[in-house]
Chains A and B, each alone.
Chain A
Amino acid sequence: QKEVEQNSGPLSVPEGAIASLNCTYSDRGSQSFFWYRQYSGKSPELIMFIYSNGDKEDGRFTAQLNKASQYVSLLIRDSQPSDSATYLCAVAGGGSYIPTFGRGTSLIVHP
């Protein structure tokens, strides 16, 4: 069974700091990796995806992938209170179109 593990948190960081969110996965055949942001009571919103080893940057967000270690992370630079949400990691591939989600990490950015 494919597993995606995330620390549930909460991760608390001060405004302006870098928030680092981590995710590990069990299926070595995984090919695609996603980060979703979910505000309380709302549905998940796709913010980043990464397919290749290394870093991918989009604005204040950087996704980092290390397939050898089966590890993907999300860095949020210059964190803002509006970034306070749960961040879900999802992993797909290996012949299936069905992503597996982690439980999410709660991020709190305090002023």
Chain B
Amino acid sequence: DTGVSQNPRHKITKRGQNVTFRCDPISEHNRLYWYRQTLGQGPEFLTYFQNEAQLEKSRLLSDRFSAERPKGSFSTLEIQRTEQGDSAMYLCASSPKGGSYEQYFGPGTRLTVT
């Protein structure tokens, strides 16, 4: 068990560019979550996958955000036409099968939009 991994760890981009982040969950965890966190706030839910199915997406998430989880393994989060307000830490978490809800977070990707 190597834990949840995320790449890249840091990303600096110019406003208007597209960025893509990757998350590799703990093996055999079937649930995967994306969160966004800004300073002084708790993690804000973005979207959730169970296996390859995207089951829920935050109403606060604009159409510029899209996520995939092909084959129920790794996941990608893409932000199109980035804005300065997108600057945040993007966290990925995974949860084991079954009825438990505990989440194990990756190290996060810190995005800075200039």
Contacts and interface: CB of A to CB of B under 8 A. Distances in A.
Interface of A: 4, 8, 31-32, 34, 36, 42-46, 49, 88, 90, 92-93, 97-104
Nearest to B55: A97
Given A34-B101, A46-B103, A49-B102, A98 B45 contact: yes
A102 B33 CA distance: 17
Interface string B48-60: 1010000110000
A43 B40 contact: no
Nearest to A48: B102
A46 B102 contact: yes
B100 to A, nearest CB: 7
Contact of B106 (A34, A36, A43): A43
A43 B105 contact: yes
Interface of B: 31, 33, 40-45, 48, 50, 55-56, 89, 91, 95, 100-108
B38 to A, nearest CB: 11
A98 B56 contact: yes
A34 B93 CA distance: 14
A100 B56 CA distance: 14
A92 B42 contact: no
Contact of B101 (A4, A36, A93): A93
A90 B102 CA distance: 9
B108 A97 contact: no
The residue among B33, B42, B43 with the most chain A CB atoms within 10 A of its own CB is: B42
Nearest to B50: A97
A46 B44 CA distance: 17
A101 B43 CA distance: 6
Contact of B42 (A45, A49, A88): A88
